[in-house]
Amino acid sequence: MPDIKTAIILVHCPDQKGIIVAVGDFILKNGGNVIHLDEHVDAATQTFFMRVEWDLDGFGIATEKISEFFQTLVANRFDMIWRLYFSDAVPRMAIFVSKLSHCLYDLLSRCQSGEWTVEVPLIVSNHPDLESVARGFGIPFHVLPITPENKHEQEQQTFDLLQQHRIDFVVLARYMQVLTEDFVARYPNKIINIHHSFLPAFPGARPYHSAHERGVKVIGATSHYVTTNLDEGPIIEQDVVRVSHEDDVSDLVRKGRDVEKIVLSRAVWNHVRRMVLVCGNRTVVFS
Amino acid sequence: MPDIKTAIILVHCPDQKGIIVAVGDFILKNGGNVIHLDEHVDAATQTFFMRVEWDLDGFGIATEKISEFFQTLVANRFDMIWRLYFSDAVPRMAIFVSKLSHCLYDLLSRCQSGEWTVEVPLIVSNHPDLESVARGFGIPFHVLPITPENKHEQEQQTFDLLQQHRIDFVVLARYMQVLTEDFVARYPNKIINIHHSFLPAFPGARPYHSAHERGVKVIGATSHYVTTNLDEGPIIEQDVVRVSHEDDVSDLVRKGRDVEKIVLSRAVWNHVRRMVLVCGNRTVVFS
Amino acid sequence: MPDIKTAIILVHCPDQKGIIVAVGDFILKNGGNVIHLDEHVDAATQTFFMRVEWDLDGFGIATEKISEFFQTLVANRFDMIWRLYFSDAVPRMAIFVSKLSHCLYDLLSRCQSGEWTVEVPLIVSNHPDLESVARGFGIPFHVLPITPENKHEQEQQTFDLLQQHRIDFVVLARYMQVLTEDFVARYPNKIINIHHSFLPAFPGARPYHSAHERGVKVIGATSHYVTTNLDEGPIIEQDVVRVSHEDDVSDLVRKGRDVEKIVLSRAVWNHVRRMVLVCGNRTVVFS
Amino acid sequence: MPDIKTAIILVHCPDQKGIIVAVGDFILKNGGNVIHLDEHVDAATQTFFMRVEWDLDGFGIATEKISEFFQTLVANRFDMIWRLYFSDAVPRMAIFVSKLSHCLYDLLSRCQSGEWTVEVPLIVSNHPDLESVARGFGIPFHVLPITPENKHEQEQQTFDLLQQHRIDFVVLARYMQVLTEDFVARYPNKIINIHHSFLPAFPGARPYHSAHERGVKVIGATSHYVTTNLDEGPIIEQDVVRVSHEDDVSDLVRKGRDVEKIVLSRAVWNHVRRMVLVCGNRTVVFS
């Protein structure tokens, strides 16, 4: 990845003539150079999706004014829903965990090695088990136990922490709690979960037990944005691994862990590179 | 595959000491040479599964007496459920189709090229569309249309044909009809279906439409033995292929066809080589 | 696929500002509507690649004049290498085979079922073995045997046939002959081969034997454009399948066949949809 | 995995009648219960391979006498090459690293989480970069820099450390040094490497650069036992991931890392469970 500063716009709007030219013109006439442009039209809903990234070097509109100009000159005309990002803004990620460490290690080791440029200001858990993992990476670890009585209070504490640390998005790295509607509503398409099955097969609890009982020959994992419908949010990434009659439930759990961590990390990577657009209950993941 | 004549025994029974030695002894003491032996113990149900294949050259028990001797000398002692097959018996397969040709071509071209040693005495269809395909391979094609009124009668005609042609097993190559319980009961673990989804996700009709609507990133196909519960029989083989937001339903259908035909043919291949044991609603597929 | 008539332009040129806008403007100002636009910049060589497809309904430039106008108004300015295609032009494919039928069946059944809109005016073979397969599909089959003495003469006959039938591109469906440089030069990036290994591993003859001897755990197949360097042309598609110590060479051959036919058909499909651009010895395969 | 103590024997010998019965009898007559038995015959070399595992509870031969008895009563008769292992012996693994952390994290996090029961008494590196990773897991980290002059001396120091810590096997977790023949000879089939390509494609240095230049559509990783021929030792495990024209070398490196760590960990897991037999330059990996 070169060290240039770029702007990224993610857009969707009703499909109509002239969108690409209008956006391209906006960039070109102000001296920008398009580095990537991907578009997709969903034929069924006649929706246009685009991701465009351009080099800001020599761009004629000041960074803090791009939004205003784009809204006025382009977005209004096509009734666009859009977001602007800058490549030098480092996303701030909070990780929620319970007792399992494989996804947590996978996420943190990518941040530490420089594979990802992502800040992790804090880890939240309802159990103390993974505190030493967090300590190994030098990241503050907050234990906020959950009981039937304190659920809302615990979420409020969590939310305060996220606010205080200016968190951009949350990753549920095998966090074994269902978030309330209120909490989810505060982070629309900003909470990424990993479910340990190939959704929509085996939603809910103990999917590996169900997979074993059904006798499937392939198991999988699904990373999706969290919505208020459990395990039904927009899917970002899925993958699978073969299993056989020789695998008992513990083998499925073991093989599944590898898929879970890779699928979750791919989803997070796509999210932080601003590759993902959500429309209805589906995602467009540019490549 | 060498041209030797072998015997194959598929066994399952409660797990207990001495089974392998008893079976091995039975073969060894009568002058047989074990070519393959695979065993598996399902820990949860304490069930023992085995597939053993031995060279019959010089075997001291006459072919037609092996069953009797094995039952008396071995099977009784361990309360075995078992079957005996001979490698020189060519399985007789009937294929049921409707209007889609991809699985039919895949099956027939394997028989014709000599990849499989399987007889196909007849193809049955509720539509005339694929008659020319059957003719290209020189296989009798029986059109037996189905109406709400004639369903049982049509199945009886079909059954008569299967009997008359001494059919060993049936392959539903995208046959768009649900068989009655009566028919299914006549061919337990002998009717192989291909379902165009990754079961248990998207059972029933129009799975590609459902997959598209759900926004999955991987689609699949499942080959299973038909039972009286639709799409819930023991799974023999599954596989998947990646899809993206760029794929509309027709793309899923097209990509899915390739998985369907390969998965179905793998399942049939395992069935005809006597690699598959069914126990409850799961399969053991030896390799 | 809707029944609209579209134009497709495949372009590559040195990367520079304004290309997308120029092409988009050309389409927009003449009343066209872009259906797909994909671009890619190869950072190492600073080469710009684009595939754009637009609806011709209401387009202001007559079909037979589009080339001239595009060259003058757009291509000259950016030093473009480009090609124009129309979605209603049915590509004419010749298939070359020897003795193996699996790829041939896979290709022909897709044409026959309507999955592909491709004409197959003729099949050429150096052996008579597959004549009955061709007959089943009603396609003329030309047996042109090859000896050390008649190679050039045979190729000339073949070339005459291709000319006479106005063949657009050739598919080598496990054709066991090396084409001469002269022949290859006549169809640059228009001869598609399937090699039965994961290139660059195991080029040349008997790759499954080599794979077995090396003890690999995965085998594959590679579809590529034929160049004068054997098995070194631009790769269009590859895929793999797992194998184990239990697989002898005949098992690798059998498992490999499934990968070969699917990989070849995917490559042909991408070629006929005008998704493939060749640059140097690599391909850009739009999706 | 239940908490029972088992014995595991890995055997290979010329194929002959009666091996399975002889081994089964040895276990049965002394009161053992076979838990797993896998056998394989390599038809080309007529070699018999077997892995058998039995419950030692109530076994009539004392643990320290099993070797002597098995050699006398069984192995001599069939000219067996064999090894005996006990499930309660915890393997002692040394890890060699250079500067890349992804494989190291993957290995250590599996040991720490209890997924593997493996001791890691030390990590050796020719660079200090990963010392903090080792510290996070509380494992001694030995920096032994390598220069052209001190190579043999450094290896002797390394060997002394391995001896002193009674190391059973070594994992090269992207260790960027070629070991000398002397060193390799001391650990036959006990040094596991990960090579960042799909061998035999792209051996040696910079395989991702070569893969990019060749324009492959799939990249992979290979874990193998180290022999004196660089990148040519017996392959334990391989896997692949799709790439496209959109991936530059840095993308291949990033995608490849995920395959590398999973493939290496699968190979180590198979090694420590005593699933791998080496014969010539190929492995039998039981499942």
Last residue of a domain, one of B58, B86, B114: B86
Last residue of a domain, one of C86, C108, C141: C86
Give CA–CA dist C252/C220, Å, rounded. 10
What residue has token string 């039928």? C101
* Cβ within 8 Å, pair B216-A239: no
What residue has token string 């996303």? A91
Q: What is the dihedral of CA D272, D274, D275, D279, to 10 degrees?
A: 110
Nearest of D67, D61, D57 to residue D9 by alpha carbon: D67
- B110 and B71, same domain (yes or no): no
User: Catalytic residue among A55, A106, A168, A231, which?
Assistant: A231
- C154 and C199, same domain (yes or no): yes
Q: What is the DSSP secondary-structure string of C149-196?
A: TTHHHHHHHHHHHHHHTT--EEEESS--SPPPHHHHHHSTT-EEEEES
* Residue at B139: amino acid letter: I
* Cβ within 8 Å, pair D285-C246: no
Element (H, E) at B267: helix B249-272
Are the CB atoms for A119 and A92 separated by under 8 Å?
yes
Residue D50 lies in a domain: yes
Nearest CA in chain C to A23: C21
The verdict on whether omega for the bond into residue A200 sits within 30 degrees of 0, i.e. cis, is: yes
Q: What is the DSSP secondary-structure string of C84-141?
A: EEETTSPPEEEEEESS--HHHHHHHHHHHHTSS--EEEEEEESSSTTHHHHHHTT--E
Are the CB atoms for C234 and C283 separated by under 8 Å?
yes
Residue pLDDT tens, chain B, 287 long: 457 899 999 999 999 999 999 999 999 999 999 999 999 998 888 999 999 999 999 999 999 999 999 999 999 999 999 999 999 999 999 999 999 999 999 999 999 999 999 999 999 999 999 999 999 999 999 999 999 899 999 999 999 999 999 999 999 999 999 999 999 999 999 999 999 999 999 999 999 999 999 999 999 999 999 999 989 999 999 999 999 999 999 999 999 999 999 999 999 999 999 999 998 899 999 99
Are the CB atoms for A88 and A100 separated by under 8 Å?
no
* Cβ within 8 Å, pair D28-B38: no
Q: Give the pLDDT confidence score for residue B1 in this predicted structure.
A: 45
Give CA–CA dist D172/D163, Å, rounded. 17
Give CA–CA dist D243/D259, Å, rounded. 12
Nearest of B218, D241, B213, B198 to residue A236 by alpha carbon: B218
- C148 and C275, same domain (yes or no): yes
Q: Give tens-digit pLDDT for C163-173.
A: 999 999 999 99
Nearest of C31, C30, C101, C38 to residue C69 by alpha carbon: C30
Distance (Å) from the C-alpha of residue D169 to the closest C-alpha of chain B? 30
Question: Could you list the residue range(s) of the whole structural domain that residue D54 is in?
Answer: 6-86
- D109 and D82, same domain (yes or no): no
- C76 and C120, same domain (yes or no): no
Structure tokens at C193: 């081969």
Give CA–CA dist A164/A151, Å, rounded. 20
Structure tokens at B121: 């005495």
Instruction: Work out the average pLDDT over D252-275.
Output: 98
Residue D1 lies in a domain: no
pLDDT above 90 coverage of chain A, percent? 95
First-residue to last-residue Cα distance in chain A? 15
Could you tell me whether strands C282-285 and A276-279 are parallel, antiparallel, or unpaired per DSSP bridges?
A: unpaired
pLDDT higher than 70, residue D2: no
Q: Does C35 touch chain A (CB under 8 A)?
A: yes
Structure tokens at A162: 């996220």
Residue A66 lies in a domain: yes
- What confidence category does residue D21 fall into, taking pLDDT thresholds of 50, 70 and 90? very high
Catalytic residues of C: 231
Residue A1 lies in a domain: no
Q: Does D25 touch chain A (CB under 8 A)?
A: no
- B71 and B208, same domain (yes or no): no
Give CA–CA dist B34/B40, Å, rounded. 17
Are the CB atoms for B125 and B146 separated by under 8 Å?
no
CATH number of the domain enclosing D26: 3.30.70.260
- B26 and B138, same domain (yes or no): no
What residue has token string 């992979």? D220
| Chain B residues within 8 A of C240 when measuring between CB atoms | none
Instruction: Give chain B's domain count.
Output: 2
Residue B1 lies in a domain: no
Distance (Å) from the C-alpha of residue C39 to the closest C-alpha of chain D? 10
| Chain D residues within 8 A of A113 when measuring between CB atoms | 100-102
Nearest of A260, A261, A259, A285 to residue A273 by alpha carbon: A285
Residue C1 lies in a domain: no
Is D231 marked active-site?
yes
Give CA–CA dist B78/B17, Å, rounded. 9
Residue D161: left if φ>0, alpha if ψ -120 to 50, beta else—which one?
Answer: alpha
- ipTM of the predicted assembly exceeds 0.90: yes
Q: Does A244 touch chain B (CB under 8 A)?
A: yes
Residue C183 lies in a domain: yes
| Chain A residues within 8 A of C35 when measuring between CB atoms | 41
Are the CB atoms for C287 and C278 separated by under 8 Å?
no
Catalytic residues of B: 231
Give CA–CA dist A161/A152, Å, rounded. 14
Q: Give tens-digit pLDDT for C240-258.
A: 999 999 999 999 999 999 9
Q: Does A138 touch chain D (CB under 8 A)?
A: no
How far out from the chain centre does Cα A150 lie? 28
Element (H, E) at C76: helix C76-78
CATH number of the domain enclosing A198: 3.40.50.170
Q: Does D237 touch chain C (CB under 8 A)?
A: yes
What residue has token string 């059919």? B167
Q: Give tens-digit pLDDT for D164-200.
A: 999 999 999 999 999 999 999 999 999 999 999 999 9
Q: Give tens-digit pLDDT for A93-142.
A: 999 999 999 999 999 999 999 999 999 999 999 999 999 999 999 999 99
Residue B38 lies in a domain: yes
User: Catalytic residue among D55, D106, D168, D231, which?
Assistant: D231
- D128 and D255, same domain (yes or no): yes
Angstrom distances, CA of residue B168 to CA of B107, B129, B227, C117: 16, 25, 17, 38
- B178 and B231, same domain (yes or no): yes
Q: Which of D200, D244, D285 sits opposite C245 (nearest CB)?
A: D285
* Cβ within 8 Å, pair A214-B234: no
Last residue of a domain, one of D26, D60, D86: D86
